[in-house]
Chains A and B, each alone.
Chain A
Amino acid sequence: MRQNRMLAILLGVLAALVLVVGGLSAILLLSGRGGTSGTTSTSETGGSGSAAASGRLRLAGADPSTMDPHLATDSTSAEYIVEVFSGLVTISPKLELQPDLAKSWDVSPDGKTYTFVLRDNATFHDGRRVTADDVKWSIERAASKQLASPTAMSYLSDIIGMPDYFAGKAPGISGIEVVDASTIRFKIDAAKPYFLAKLSYPTAFVLDRKQVEANPRNWTRKPNGTGPYQLTEWRLGERITLTAYDKFYLGTPKLKEAVYLLSGGSALTRFENNELDVAPLSINDIDRARDPGQALSKLYQQSTQFSISYIALNSKTPPFDDPAVRRAMGLALDRKKISDVTFKGMLAPASGILMPGLPGFTPDVKTLPYDPAAAKAELAKSKYAKSMPTITLTETGGGASASPDTEAYVAAWKEILGMNVEIKQSDFATFIADQQAGKLQLFAAGWIMDYPDPEDLLDLKFHSKSPLNDQGYANPEVDKLLDDARTLQDPAKRLDLYRQAEKIIINDATWLPLYFSMSHQVVNPAVKGWFDPPMVLPRLRFIEVTR
């Protein structure tokens, strides 16, 4: 009996406490709301104190899946990695290949030997000089069988001896030679002009051997990199802080500190609360940003990105083995209208496969025009015109409802061509697994460029022998163009080959290019020189914050 009374009393007290404290604090907060954010002391994540610091940029971000340049495959991780680490060459904001750790390089007349000379003032964050041995060790570590990097073969396999080393058949990469402390030589298997562009990718970045070997599991928490910024703070799920490395060999970065706030709700709302300096705009916000009467519109910036979304038709499965069917479907898409309606014009209709700004891009529209009459005519020519097999369009998604643009395409095909296309959604991992197994008949996907060279897209996706060719595309004419372009040294002639290949590929219609991605952001006026590059490249050191 006594126990029960105690229990009852305790509960009563608890209930009263909750109500009283809750009510009191609500009253107090509401009455003092003008000064609330100043008077309640919040820990650093609140950031009310961050407005005062000058030279400090506050961005929204996500946790990188890894800070190890040799293992990173996603652009979220790459965004941090390119600031903390560096390699022999880098890509400038104008998308030109520039010397980075290497101050100069020399290409042999046959195009197969590259000799790099390292800078004298290139150092790690701890002050130690970067030597050719560091470069060789880093590349071999990236290519090691033990690390099993998913990107090593894609970016380093042109170096002679690398595939054997990756397979564990050789003790080192024979094609890399340390000439002296500042000079390193690479021998590649063919005269590939895009080899330098591949070296700008994180797989070829330089790491501190002592640090990595001493602490293989945890060295990424406080990496001793060579890039313009040091990772000074990483609180999982909360924030990442990058602080400028004053002795950076290309000059002291203008921006002293960048803070990425990883939690905290809607980015735009935080931007308007002066908690963030840059925020992305979603489709719900774009009208406000475009309205000249709103303050937000003066802070709005947009730029194209090197990424394309497309629909792929697997030419190994009926009815897409018939080019007439593929072309018919391509002629039935009104990209401009669909973009305007479903995306409020936030995505640029694709005029081809190569994106604006990419070497090899031409502004003329190469994609099949919107022509319902021609679409019907093409379909009538097809052997499937009378008996169309079932068609399923697969895309990634949660399964609740199809993406609005996918619904628009399916509706167009039904209306213009009388085709019934079913939409199926898989989660991302399932989609990728099916795509790799070649099981997808018709699917919607995207591609993001890794380095600014058309080879990264046209060769990898459309060469008949490429493992990434998941539409069963095989055109000997295109293969020849791509093979020739691989080793052609004259940049103008080379790009011309890619342009020709692009035209043929579009006409073969195993890809229906849909949209080029665009970045839409609002930027605080105190931030000078902000730009969102079309692909991930180091940019923080060019930015200034005047506060």
Chain B
Amino acid sequence: MGAYVVRRLLWLPVLLVIVSFSTFTLARFGPGDPVTLETQKSRDPAVVAEARAKRGLDRPIPVQYLRWLQLAARGDLGESTLQKGYSVSELIFPKMWVSAQLSLVAIIIVFAVGIPMGLLAARLAGTWIDPMIIGTLLFLQAIPVLVVIPPLIWLFAVKLQWLPVGGWDGIFAVYWIGGVVAIPIPNPHLYIPLVAFTIGGFVGVARLVRITALEVNLEDYVRTARSKGLSETAVQLRHVLPNALLPVVTVVGFSLAGIIEGSFFVETLMGINGIGRLTFEAVTSRDYDVILATTVVFASAFVICNLLAELVYGVVDPRVRLGATRG
């Protein structure tokens, strides 16, 4: 399996070069570049030419790309034009960290709630509860994030004043009981963004688990376990759940890679300093280096997380031998 992992990881640089080159070229074909925006009030051809030359934008694209690649290989992802004087790494990683924290908590909640829901629905298939669960979760998914947040802010932050109106403060806050004992609780800043992030995710996980669990429930070994006299709870937890989880492992892989994407809507509406808003602003202001760096980081995260998911799958499912059938 070690050889398998190494082989997979060796593809990563190749993939990254392909992804980065495509993004690089596509970005530069779009109308306008950072210099266009900077010089919009001067339009002196000499000024524009100088500004382009300073950024290396007057060289042919492959040459520009190679220059970027050289620097990136050494860890220098370039300088931002949206936020001058800051390197791309300084700009994106702290924001990715904020978005990642929020998304990670969201993922935990989505799976912690979605999996039992799916199991329950499968167990109660045939009754009215099964479609009701799935129907409710589907309904929640259908509500757009943009629509969910303002009413929540209005109700909980403005009217009732239970929650803050926006901002980010870390995942935990300290709550003093009676001014004497301090306990960590989830930070109130999280609640509304978490609702926005999670309500759409439950149904995907629940349906996946439900379908698999339904199949598993019909398997021989489950029938054997039941006929042996095992309690239904034991059957569910010891036989159905582990097998129903297998496809979930793959989905977790995808989801984990997405934690560094952030959400433009949530971050803008709640005033959170995350990567989603930055990515959008980078595109509209043609901040090439930021666009490229974020794309490359996403691509790497995707590959690595999927590889991890595959490895976990291989560990969890004894029937799978990774790399065994490959030459």
Contacts and interface: CB of A to CB of B under 8 A. Distances in A.
Nearest to A71: B84
Interface in A446-469: 450, 467-468
Given A153-B47, A265-B269, A436-B36, A429 B286 contact: yes
Interface string B134-178: 000000000000000000010001101110111111100111110
A244 B85 CA distance: 24
B37 A428 contact: yes
B74 interface: no
A206 B45 CA distance: 26
Interface string A17-56: 1110110110011101100110111110110000000000
A3 interface: yes
A18 B273 contact: no
B54 to A, nearest CB: 4
**Most chain A C-beta atoms within 10 Å of own C-beta, residue among B47, B153, B245, B269:** B47
Contacts of B91: 236
A264 B85 contact: no
Nearest to A469: B43
Interface residues of B, number: 75
Contact of A45 (B38, B51, B169, B286): B169
Contacts of B162: 29-30, 33, 36
A230 to B, nearest CB: 17
A15 B112 contact: yes
A426 B286 CA distance: 14
A73 interface: yes
Contact of B85 (A30, A146, A167, A220): A220
Contacts of A436: 36, 40, 43
Contact of A428 (B44, B179, B284): B284
A167 B188 CA distance: 56
Interface stretch (A5-13, A180-188, A477-485, A502-510): A5-13
B108 interface: yes
B186 A429 contact: no
Contact of B161 (A5, A33, A220, A434): A33
A151 interface: yes
Nearest to A146: B54
Contacts of B32: 429-430, 432-433
A147 B36 CA distance: 17
A136 B238 CA distance: 80
A25 B185 contact: yes
Interface string B5-38: 0000000000000000000000000111101111
B94 interface: yes
A14 B286 CA distance: 43
A273 interface: yes
B215 interface: no
A443 B14 CA distance: 45
A104 interface: no
Interface string B166-200: 11111001111101000001111000000000000
A386 interface: no
B284 A429 contact: yes
Nearest to A151: B42
B270 interface: yes
A191 B167 CA distance: 53
Interface in A44-70: 45-46, 63, 65-68
B63 to A, nearest CB: 19
Contacts of B36: 429, 432-433, 436
B51 A40 contact: no
B290 interface: no
Contact of A269 (B94, B113, B157, B169): B157
A11 to B, nearest CB: 7
B62 interface: no
A29 to B, nearest CB: 6
A347 B271 CA distance: 27
A467 B158 contact: no
A467 B43 contact: yes
Interface in A207-240: 217-218, 220-221, 236-238
**Most chain A C-beta atoms within 10 Å of own C-beta, residue among B82, B162, B176, B271:** B271
A154 B42 contact: yes
B173 A15 contact: no
A8 B241 contact: yes
A390 interface: no
Nearest to B86: A236
A18 B109 contact: yes
A22 B109 CA distance: 10
A266 interface: yes
B39 interface: yes
Given A167-B46, A265-B271, A429 B85 contact: no
**Most chain B C-beta atoms within 10 Å of own C-beta, residue among A145, A429, A430, A450:** A429
A15 B237 CA distance: 13
A46 B169 contact: yes
B296 interface: no
B193 to A, nearest CB: 11
Contact of B188 (A36, A65, A468): A36
A3 B242 CA distance: 9
A432 B169 CA distance: 38
Contact of A43 (B30, B169, B176, B238): B169
Contacts of A270: 165-166
A450 B315 CA distance: 65
Interface string A371-383: 0000000000000
A152 interface: yes
B228 interface: no
A63 B30 CA distance: 26
A150 interface: yes
A14 B91 CA distance: 33
A427 interface: yes
B272 interface: yes
Interface string A66-104: 111001010000000000000000000000000000000
A387 interface: no
A110 B227 CA distance: 110
Contacts of B169: 42-43, 45-46
A410 interface: no
Contacts of B177: 28
A383 B31 CA distance: 35
A30 B175 CA distance: 12
A67 to B, nearest CB: 7
A12 B54 contact: no
A423 interface: no
Contact of B165 (A152, A266, A467): A266
B186 A432 contact: no
A262 B164 CA distance: 15
A429 B37 contact: yes
B112 A14 contact: yes
A263 interface: yes
Contacts of A221: 85
A234 B306 CA distance: 37
25 contacts: A7-B242, A11-B111, A14-B112, A17-B112, A18-B112, A29-B162, A33-B160, A39-B175, A40-B174, A42-B173, A73-B38, A148-B53, A150-B42, A153-B46, A221-B85, A263-B167, A265-B153, A265-B157, A265-B270, A428-B37, A430-B31, A432-B37, A432-B40, A433-B32, A450-B41
Given A264-B271, A429-B37, 8 more contacts: A40-B188, A236-B94, A269-B165, A273-B161, A427-B284, A432-B37, A432-B40, A436-B36
Closest 4 CB pairs of A and B: A265-B166, A237-B273, A429-B32, A4-B242
Interface of B: 30-33, 35-47, 50-51, 53-54, 82-86, 90-91, 94-95, 108-109, 111-113, 115-116, 153, 157-158, 160-162, 164-170, 173-177, 179, 185-188, 237-238, 241-242, 245, 269-273, 284-286, 315-316
